[in-house]
Amino acid sequence: MHTLSRFLLVYLLAALTACAVNPVTGKNELSLMSAEQEVSQGAQLYQPYQQQQGGRYVVDPELTVYVNSVGQKLARVSDRANLPYEFVVLNNSVPNAWALPGGKIAVNRGLLVMLEDESQLAAVLGHEIVHAAARHSARQMTRATLLNVGLMAAGVAAQKSDYGQWMLAGAGVGASAYQAHYGRDQELEADKYGVQYMVRAGYDPQGAVELQEKFVALSKGQQSSFMESLFASHPPSEERVKRNRELAAENANKGARNKTAYQNAIKQLLRDKEAYQLHEQALQAAQNNDFNQASSLIDKAIQKQPNEALFHITKGQLKMAAKEDSAALQAFQQAAKLNPEYYLGYLGVGLLEKKAGKNSAATDALKKSMQYLETPLAAYHLGELSLAAGDKNTARSYFEFAAQGTGDVAEAAKAQLAKLTPAN
């Protein structure tokens, strides 16, 4: 039997016998991860998954402090209060939230501007806490592991970076493969126990009803294809609204709504609402190849909120498309200054410095981008820079990473590797 076949057999036999108790429901369920592995893998995935989705929202850091405080209040009354819960706000306009194994949770600013009070926020965070506490996220990763076990087994020997294991799960630059498409039972379970956590923490469970009503109303909008993608991980339904109404009635109390505190917390987001709308319009104009309009719109967005790094990144991309490299470099440098923990600003700087022949500055910037998110694009250019410096071994390592992807970058990396491989 081939080594790969033996690996698959052992792996699948382990999967068939790997059961764990759901800490929330008490039921025995399939899982390939221990509690310790959940915490470890969630922690490893947290940064790259944030980076994929806009990075952390930093224009108003106090908003994340506030959201984390609400989340921790709910986590303390959950069925797995000992998990190292963390809650962040992402710089993403899509109204969504997600949970990784081990209690690593994120909520998009696009969702926060939809909500009206703290009880609705508690409904969002309570729901995500259940996904972590009930091991839903871990089970999703388990399913993805089983579906991709052949790919994983075949690639173990070839991957040399810690980040490589997440590539093996089928994700291009992060951990999206397992996270999407929670099942109906998991969603109802998260709703049910999320309401219980709200009540334990002193919140009005009516907030959970209103949250689902908002999602159902959005799903009935005209942008059906967009909404299908938007709610892939948390599909709304009238059934969930009905169930939440029943749960709220069963747990009727005079819990907190904290509307004033919530509105005060999101006041910067509300002030910047028009700026983000202009940014979305700029992206749409660029997609329609109307670059003059896109440039005009992004300049207006920056005028309204000059401290948003995302706007400067978009400006940099537009200037690159127009071959205005000096202006593009300035935009990317400003983005990196405004949000020094987001990879795209450094990536733009690195590409432009390399194009200008400033190899040392390019290497520094591209390595910085890789610290936050390891991308095939940055790896390929670092490979070329290593070749230029005469370091073939380092170049080979970068090209091997870049070759794991798809598209032009991967093909170019494979071609470089072929040149570095001596003929027999």
* Tens digit of each residue's pLDDT (9 = 90 or more) over 303-316: 999 999 999 999 99
Residue 179: is its pLDDT beyond 90? no
- CATH class of the region 271-420: mainly alpha
Q: How confident is the model at residue 36 (pLDDT cuts 50, 70, 90)?
A: confident
Strands 97-100 and 104-108, sheet pairing: antiparallel
Report whether pLDDT(159) > 80. Answer: no
Query: How much is the pLDDT for 359?
Result: 98
Percentage of the chain beyond pLDDT 90 is: 60
The pLDDT of residue 161 is above 50: no
- Report which listed range, 33-47, 181-195, 341-355, is most confident: 341-355
* Range 271-298 average pLDDT: 95
Is the model more confident about 141 or about 124?
124
- The residues spanned by each domain of the chain are 3-262, 271-420
Least confident of 15-19, 269-273, 384-388, 401-405: 15-19
pLDDT at 167 (0 to 100): 26
Number of neighbours of residue 239 by Cβ within 10 angstroms:
14
Beta-strand runs (E) in 92-177: 97-100, 104-108
Residue 16: in which H helix or E strand, if any? helix 3-17
Average pLDDT over residues 196-212: 92
Q: How far apart are CA 25 and CA 46, in angstroms?
A: 26
Nearest of 248, 242, 211, 254 to residue 120 by alpha carbon? 211
Mode of pairing for the β-strands spanning 104-108 and 86-90: parallel
Across 359-368, average pLDDT: 98
Inform me whether the pLDDT recorded for 14 exceeds 60. Answer: no
Cα 296 from Cα 288, distance rounded (Å):
14
Residue 163 is given by DSSP the state: T
